[in-house]
Amino acid sequence: MSPYRKLINPIEIMVLATALIVGMTVMTAGIRTANSAEVSHLKTQHKTVKVDGIDLFYREAGRPDAPTLLLLHGFPTSSQMFRNLIPALADKYHLVAPDYPGFGNSAMPLVGEFDYSFDNLAVIVDKFTQKLGLDRYSLYVMDYGAPVGFRLATTHPERIESLIVQNGNAYDEGLLTFWDPFRKYWENPTAETAKPLAGFLNIGATKWQYTHGTRNPDLISPDTWTTDQYFQDRPGNKEIQMKLFFDYGTNPGKYPEWQAYFRTHQPRTLIVWGKNDHIFPAEGAHPYKRDLKNVEFHLLDTGHFALEEDGDEIAKTIRDFLK
């Protein structure tokens, strides 16, 4: 009998096959678990954390040990303005985007229950970052996000790795005729001077902020302005927005402090600015180059909410900049 006949013993073959199948199953399960963990970091999570007794909603994606981007939204929106940017960068970066009190899905204490000032919004966001353990991050600031973010930067310059500025002002040159009725309100807050500003809180004005200056308004989803307007139309919210309209007048006085921060600390800065923005026109973008030596400058052919029309280009530019 050939000595090789024992290798085809049916029992031994069955045992060997079973061991092989079990081994492959374990290996496949391990790969699947690893892949699931990787994919979970790419998906945006929607969370809430309590800061000074206030529920703050935020969006988060990416590995917590990756470089962090703190995304600060503008008016009249919320972290939803970053809904597409977050997953576009989550493979390489840790992205965190809070809603301020009174905005989006965060709690909305009434005017008499909370100090709606840019100083206080910055304090709340600062405490939010500490609560999440964000001790180093790049700042993406837009619109209201600029006065909030630049307050953070001047208070904690050691935490700022870089700046990404999109239609957020820090220079007098950026406040043109659009701001004339606001200046009257800052100087003399009466029912008469408040009346023109109340017009910025209706659905027509909210839609205009998204569509004005865009190359193709049909590309802008109506979900944007209808979502923002839903939150603005909550009882008591218009009083909140008027309070912040008035307090915005405190920001120009801080421009010299922010500019001194730029000159002293020279944070690496990326400007991605919708040049057709009537609220924060391109005149406010250029002066950053006066104080910052390490600045990358891009004017985009779009409007106020540049991420809506040029989000893919902005994501790619951010990726190249941070890399």
Strand partners, 96: 60, 70
- Alpha-carbon distance 116 to 97, whole Å? 19
Q: Which residue has the tokens 């590995």?
A: 63
Low-confidence ranges of the chain (pLDDT < 50): 1-8, 13, 15-17, 19-22, 24-29, 31-34
Q: Which residues, 6+ apart, have CB-to-CB distance to 188 below 8 Å?
A: none
Centroid of chain to Cα 88: 13
The residue written with tokens 């205009």 in the block is 208
Instruction: For 15-63, write each residue's pLDDT tens digit.
Output: 444 544 445 444 444 544 445 555 678 899 999 999 999 999 999 999 9
Nearest to 320 by CA among 149, 78, 93, 123: 93
Residue at token pair 């730029």: 262
Strand partners, 54: 51
Please check whether residue 168 is in contact with residue 142, taking contact to mean a CB–CB distance below 8 angstroms. yes
Q: Domain residues of the chain, as ranges?
A: 42-322
Q: For residue 59, give the 3-state DSSP assignment.
A: strand
Percent of the chain clearing pLDDT 90 (strictly above) = 87
State residue 41's pLDDT score.
Answer: 83
Which candidate in 41, 46, 212, 304 is catalytic? 304
CATH architecture of 42-322: 3-Layer(aba) Sandwich (3.40)
Asked if 279 and 177 count as a contact pair (C-beta separation under 8 A), the reply is no
Q: Is 212 a catalytic residue?
A: no
